[in-house]
Structure 1
Amino acid sequence: MPVELDDLTPLFRQLRALAWQQHRERLSIADRQLMLTASTMSEALRARRQIRHLSDVEFQVFSQMGEDGIIEWLIQNLPIRSESFVEFGVEDYKESNTRYLLRHRNWKGFVIDASIQNVEEITKDSIFWRHSLIAKSYFIDRENINDILKESGFNEDIGLLSIDIDGNDYWVFDAIETVKPDIVICEYNAVFGDLHAVTVPYDPAFQRRIAHPSWLYFGASIRALEMAAARKGYVLLGSNLAGHNAFFVRGDLASTLSIEDRRARPSLIRESRDEDGALSYADGLDRAALIRDMPVLDLETGQTVALGSFGALYGPDWHARIASPKS
């Protein structure tokens, strides 16, 4: 006797529900194992009181590179005033500089992304009800950032501020007056080099993918961020090994940390795009050549000039690393 399709529907639904249940259980087990391993690594850092460079204490849990380990080491070795953080540019918060901090140390947090859809995804994540987390959608610029922070309630001393908006990072960092973080993480554009204090000219509507087809024209050089940080009383501690996130700390805390080399690293990341938006893998010095005609503001002279007009962008150490022949 042939089986009717309607007779199979309940069985199909049961099997689908069972499959989803097993999938969730596997994810839960994997997540617990991940957090257990990360906690063990965090505990191992306590023996590292002196380090050569911040990259020595890197490990990755939810961060893009090794920022989770660096943040954990800094918190272990600094008298943090407030167990709270603010992070800009988090997308759906699956990959971020503060997710491990939220889960491992249960800090309070405020995260911002320009995409409403991304923020909706964050609010659906169990992390949103398990922790004290605020998630809002704003397109951040230097005019609105202080009002946004005031309205959120994160408007005084905080433990950590992370800025990664792929555009007006310098301008937003420089404009912030509402919060006084102990630690600041800010993305720098290593393609701009380490010799000059330059940034993209301010445009409140700046979008990296529109500004130049290569996607390499954005943000500010490490020297530009150092200048902004110094005006606010912060000093550079170094960077991650990948060479795109710089770490700063309040000047009165800098001497409590034993770090031999506090220089930022150059980047070898090959994230350039072609005219169709696909990765083109421009390498080494070729990356700067792609955007040599693009305007940058020289913060030391106040003049807006083409990036290529500077000639050399990289000091000897950076140049040797970036221009070295492929292995």
Structure 2
Amino acid sequence: MLDRLKKVVSGQKTLFGLPDKVVAGHDELKINIGSLHSALISSRKQYNKLSDLEFRVFSQFGDDGIIQYLTQNIDIPHKTFIEFGVEDYFESNTRFLLQKDNWSGFVIDGSEQHIGKLRSSPFYWKQDLESQAVFITKENISSLLKPHVDRWGGLGLLHIDLDGNDYWIWEALNLKPVILILEYNSNFGSERAVTVPYNPSFYRTDAHYSNLYWGASLRSLYELSRSRGYRFIGCNNAGNNAYFILEDYMNETVREVSLEEGYVSSKYRESRDEHGRLTYLDASERNDKIKGLSVINTTTQTPEIF
């Protein structure tokens, strides 16, 4: 099918080799199907675990469903979001929220090429979406976000996904989003509150060839978020995103869970060898691969060896 379409539009400058109208039509179909899923999920008054709410439209895993349930069942005064580390935004956790529910947003990625691709997409001009290509550090993050949050008057959802300095960036921010989504590194396990040491130019492949040494443990992010008035409600089934709600917005449709109850160990296998080839290590093997590396205990703020 795709090969036939590419032949039809041969010679035209199009996204993915397809005309913009074809891409837009495919996206509209996905959004319509996702809207049906959203209506079914959002009408539920109880669930056993957060992953019961999952479905996928534009998110990498099932986060679209979780986000739809939360935004439809919590009274959020500002329909606004910020998401970090979005690459070209074609696969992201807030795009469905943007296009289906018409939220306003600001997204950041470190690549000029990725942001250029986003800005030339068929949907970019139709929505209130701003974007910027910049490498995020704890020194620049507040100045990057403040103009947007000030313009909106508040922030509904924040998603931090940096594969690196996630803990330090969240610590540096003085924001109170209603919904907070933090990527955690399950390779660090659930027992220890640890993160990689802060490095303003952190890049995980350079930090360790395995691509497994990055970010922070769930316990580390849990403790920091609790200290800021957030309640933990669980993780997605993929075991990479943790969800928190500002305590003033908790209601009977969402339930707080313990870290032990909500923790999910990831099963996706993205480990690499010294030559950059996938090694498909399981959870215990991944944990062993990063043993002996330096971490910071975020409870005591002291260096340790993992």
Structure 2-normalised TM-score?
Answer: 0.90
Encode CA deviations 1:122-147: one digit per residue, 9 max, x unaligned: 11012210001100011111111101
Moved more, 62-71 or 146-155: 146-155
Encode CA deviations 1:279-320: one digit per residue, 9 max, x unaligned: 11111201011110111111223321111xxxxxxxxxxxxx
Contact 1:52 1:259 in 2 (8 A): no
Q: Which residue does the alignment assign to 2:50?
A: 54
Displacement of 1:34 in angstroms is: 1.3
Contact 2:233 2:256 in 1 (8 A): no
Structure 1: distance between partners of 2:210 and 2:9:
47
Return closer, same or farther for 1:74/1:15 CA change in 2, 3 Å cut-off. Answer: closer
Moved more, 148-157 or 168-177: 148-157
Contact 2:106 2:129 in 1 (8 A): yes
Instruction: Choose from 243, 256, 279 the match for 2:239.
Output: 243
Q: Which residue does the alignment assign to 1:124?
A: 120
Structure 1 gaps of 5+ residues are 1-12, 308-327
Computing the radius of gyration from Cα coordinates, the structure with the larger value is 1
SS at 2:177's partner residue?
strand
Instruction: Choose from 10, 22, 27 the match for 1:16.
Output: 10
Structure 1: distance between partners of 2:148 and 2:88:
19
Q: Which residue does the alignment assign to 2:188?
A: 192
Structure 2: distance between partners of 1:90 and 1:185:
14
SS at 1:305's partner residue?
strand
Structure 1: distance between partners of 2:48 and 2:87:
32
Displacement of 1:20 in angstroms is: 7.3
Return closer, same or farther for 1:289/1:232 CA change in 2, 3 Å cut-off. Answer: same
| Number of equivalent positions | 294
SS at 1:157's partner residue?
coil
SS at 1:117's partner residue?
helix
Q: Which residue does the alignment assign to 2:134?
A: 138
Displacement of 1:253 in angstroms is: 1.9
Question: In the alignment, residue 16 of structure 1 is paired with which amino acid?
Answer: S
Contact 2:42 2:68 in 1 (8 A): no
Structure 1: distance between partners of 2:12 and 2:289:
52
Displacement of 1:255 in angstroms is: 3.7
Q: Which residue does the alignment assign to 1:161?
A: 158
Structure 1: distance between partners of 2:35 and 2:189:
36
CA RMSD of aligned residues (A): 2.2
Q: Which residue does the alignment assign to 2:289?
A: 290
Q: Which residue does the alignment assign to 1:44?
A: 40
Structure 1-normalised TM-score?
Answer: 0.85
SS at 1:51's partner residue?
coil
Return closer, same or farther for 1:271/1:15 CA change in 2, 3 Å cut-off. Answer: closer
Moved more, 150-159 or 226-235: 150-159
SS at 2:155's partner residue?
strand
